[in-house]
Amino acid sequence: MEAGSEVKLLIYDKMVHAFPIMAPLFPEAQKAMSDIAEFITASLG
């Protein structure tokens, strides 16, 4: 947090690059989009 920003690393096994855009097709992608939205919401306070 040297720059004062919080980060979070989430690893999704066996997923291709940019897989969250495939949320309508895969449950793993839906979960990733949910995780992303949760992080953004928490970060914005």
Q: Where are the domains of the chain?
A: 1-45
Tens digits of per-residue pLDDT, 14-43? 999 999 999 999 999 999 999 999 999 998
> Are 19 and 26 contacting, i.e. CB atoms less than 8 angstroms apart?
yes
Question: For the whole model, what pTM was predicted?
Answer: 0.80
Longest dimension (CA), the chain: 37
At 38 the pLDDT is 96
C-alpha to C-alpha distance for 30 and 25, rounded to whole angstroms: 8
C-alpha to C-alpha distance for 43 and 45, rounded to whole angstroms: 5
Among 37, 30, 39, residue whose Cα is nearest residue 8: 39
Confidence of residue 6 (pLDDT cuts 50, 70, 90): confident
